[in-house]
Structure 1
Amino acid sequence: MSDGQSFSQRKNFVAWIGLGVSIVALALKYAAWAASGSVALKSDALETIINVVAAAGGLWAIRLAERPADDNHTYGHYKAEYLSAIIESAMVLVTALMIAKAAYDGFLHPQELHSPWIGILLNSAATVINLVWGLTLMRIGRSMRSPALEAGGHHVLSDVWTGFGLVAGLMLIPVTGWHWLDPVIAALIALNVLRVGWEMLKQSVSGLMDEAPDLDTLSKLNEIIAQKAIGAIEAHDIRIREVGAMTFIEFHLVVPGTMTVSVVHDICDRIEAGLRAELGRCVINIHVEPEHKAKNSGIVLAHATRTVENADMTA
């Protein structure tokens, strides 16, 4: 089994687990709402329905993103994960509006809770399950550089923080008799879901627009090229974009005009091996140029320049 196949199977396995966890959490939260009649618990259950749909969509996106390049998609299908994340973000925003509507109805028609402690207990169980899974999903999504898995982790954790606040607020209602807290909590849930959806949407759009990675990644890239490009003169016009788990890198490598094709090829191989060892799965395009194309910008390799000068003196 190739590394690519193993990687794809791990992502699919994680996505399937996520779908199962979402269904279990939904069942617990629906039971909590049915037992208590709480508007806040109904709002929480509505959000979890989106979790289930999003988990199914993320599974589809991961399977599509791992398809090999073809004649119609010569760079692969990696951006499918960003599309899934954007759809999930939009669904989260719609859910926020639905929850806000439920909270408004609760203000207009307040109701006494039926069995609040049973609802609180069931919802707490779902929250604990989501906490464990959300933290796990975030860690796996980052290690696999999967936008779909990481977006799912953000969504699940937003559900967790909502759940903690929800449980704490609902515990006050049977103690104090403040039934107006129920729709207030639902309104706060709507605001939190709206915030999370907006953050997810911004992150997904950045990926689709090929936004440059963070400065640490760029610095690491330059450092690897400088270390591995011994014998070259400079590397300039460096561009990098991350699409899901794949990194696309391209730059111009200036070498002495007297250098043989074989030596240049070895330099490029060293650079590519170093980049893949550090950054993982990469598509690397290196455009080789002679020394008169040097721009004295980008990564200037002084030791290589001295080599060229020595070669000129010998000639």
Structure 2
Amino acid sequence: ATIAALGLAMLGWPSADPVFAIGIAFYILYSAGQIGHESIQLLMDRELPPEVHTQIKQIVRDHPQVRGVHDVRTRSSGQTYFIQLHLMLDDLMPLVEAHRIADEVEASILAAFPNADVLIHEDPTTETPPLPLPG
């Protein structure tokens, strides 16, 4: 831009330098605004995109002993994803088995999202009406 402004000034258009300087100043302001906006979005706790919600629910659905999933809550803070959800499991399942299944689901979610903090609560299917698992 500087070379172009000098060239135009030498060709008889002396106002080219200030015009290019103003253009460059606006570009710098725009870039600074974009960087600031992205930084604020990164630092604010924001819900994860719908695609991530869908992927999390699909991971949960893939476990054969999970009867349903509800209360899926997500947020991001910096580079970390925070994922909370409730698994619907068989009413008569022993607590040890329910915990094992929750650990397996958590491991599957962490495989897909390594920088995640996952919190899973196990619910019996009769406690809350389960959401249907489409697919």
Shorter-chain TM range is 0.7 to 0.9
Higher helix proportion, which one? 1
> Does the 8 Å CA contact 1:234/1:294 hold for their aligned counterparts?
no
In the alignment, structure 1 residue 284 sits paired with structure 2 residue 118: yes
**Cα distance between partner residues in 2 of 1:213 and 1:181:** 47
Quick one: which of 49, 65, 76 aligns to 1:242? Answer: 76
- The answer on whether the counterparts of 2:42 and 2:79 sit within 8 Å (CA) in structure 1 is no
CA RMSD of aligned residues (A): 2.2
Aligned to 1:172: 7
Does 1 or 2 have the higher relative contact order (CA < 8 Å, sep 6+)?
Answer: 2
Residue equivalent to 1:273: 107
Q: Percent identity?
A: 25
Quick check: 2:69–2:88 contact (8 Å CA) kept in 1? yes
5+ residue gaps, structure 2, are none
Q: Shift of residue 263 of structure 1?
A: 1.5
Aligned position for 2:18? 183
Q: Are 2:51 and 1:216 equivalent residues in the alignment?
A: yes
Asked whether the 8 Å contact 1:236–1:295 carries over to 2, the reply is no
Residues 261 and 190 of structure 1: CA distance in aligned 2, closer, same or farther (over 3 Å): same
Partners of 2:69 and 2:85 within 8 A in 1: yes
| Aligned counterparts, 1:85-164, within 5 A | none
Structure 1 runs not aligned, ≥5 long: 1-165, 303-315
Aligned length: 134
Q: Which residue of 1 aligns with 2:97?
A: 263
**Aligned-pair distance for 1:214?**
2.2
Q: CA shift at 1:277, angstroms? A: 1.2
SS at match of 2:41: helix
Whether the 8 Å contact between 2:88 and 2:130 is mirrored in structure 1 is no
Letter in 2 for 1:225: V
Q: Could you tell me the TM-score, scaled by structure 1's length?
A: 0.39
Could you say which structure has the higher strand fraction? 2
* Deviation by residue 1:12-60 (Cα, 9 ceiling, x = unmatched): xxxxxxxxxxxxxxxxxxxxxxxxxxxxxxxxxxxxxxxxxxxxxxxxx
CA distance in 2, matches of 1:206, 1:275: 24
Task: Decide whether aligned partners of structure 1 residues 273 and 184 sit closer, same or farther in structure 2, where only a CA change above 3 A counts.
Answer: same
Q: Is the 8 A contact 2:72 2:84 kept in 1?
A: yes
**Deviations 1:270-310, CA, capped at 9 Å, x for gaps:** 2111111111221110111122223333xx348xxxxxxxx
Whether the 8 Å contact between 2:9 and 2:15 is mirrored in structure 1 is no
